[in-house]
Amino acid sequence: MLNLSQLNVFAQKKHILHDLNFSVNHCGFYALIGANGAGKSTLLSALAQVMPYSGSIRLVDEELREVKVSDLWSTLVYVDQNFSIIFDYTVEQYIRIGLDLYFDQDAIDFHAQHILGIFNAIEWLQVSILTLSQGQQQLVQLIRALTHVQCLLTLKRNNPQQFTINKKIILLLDEPLNHLDVKVQWHLLEYLKVLSKDIVLLCSLHQIVLAKKYADTLVILKAGRLISCSKSSQKSIQEVANIFEVDANFLLY
């Protein structure tokens, strides 16, 4: 489905990712874990086609860099950990931006309101996004992406002929738990676990215990190199702790 071959990324004359090779062949929750500077965010940026790279990223039988930008919207959904909101939109308006080019407004509103309800945030719809806290703004970013995914799933089920690339949906989340309180983290991970049965979810996480609990597969990076890509059930906390060079007991608290 998704194949990376000899993937290298350079930035500011620094070699960040080194000859990465791995494949994603099934829907599921793939957690990218590694220390700061391991290359998790860079890998997600390359997959999202916003970071130049050498090597190959293929989606089924197509080189991803050769896919038209106008077609990527039906396959890739990406949330960067760094975002800036400067315009005074309501939450409802912000979620609709861009999505209204591809989806019916009623469908957008239906899915957005359903997801907002899951996070007990339905009252935010008419609130200025600039008045929200950083954690709340982060949640709105995620809700917008999840709305995009749900609209795609609905459209692909009902009108598959509309898609020039009839591939699985790939959701890329860079540190989605940043700034979120514990209850929201829990709701988000529970939601993503169910959603990942129908899509490919690649998600960078620093919370190792949560990654092991919710992810199907752990993709472990260290200094820009792939250390392992294996089922989370096959990796003990001790093995992961050894990679991070910390006491396993520390990860449990």
pLDDT at residue number 251: 65
The C-alpha atoms of residue 196 and residue 217 are separated, in whole angstroms, by 12
pTM (predicted TM-score): 0.93
156 vs 221, which has greater pLDDT?
A: 221
pLDDT number for residue 237: 75
Structural domains of the chain ordered from first start = 2-251 (3.40.50.300)
For residue 159, pLDDT beyond 80: no
What pLDDT sits at residue 162? 63
- Alpha carbon dihedral 187, 140, 212, 239, in 10-degree steps, equals -150
Which tens digit of pLDDT belongs to each residue from 15-72? 999 999 999 989 999 999 998 999 999 999 999 999 999 999 998 888 988 888 878 8
pLDDT of residue 250: 72
Given a cut of 80, whether residue 248 has pLDDT beyond it is: no
pLDDT of amino acid 133:
95
In b/e form, how buried is each residue of 96-135, taking b as 16+ CB within 10 angstroms? Answer: beebeebbeeebbbebbbebbeebebeebeeeebeebeee
Using CA atoms, how far apart are residues 111 and 163, in angstroms rounded to an integer? 20
pLDDT band at residue 161, thresholds of 50, 70 and 90? low
The reported pLDDT for the residue numbered 236 is 76
Average pLDDT over residues 204-225: 92
Determine the 3-state secondary structure of 234 from DSSP.
helix
CA 111 to chain centre: 18
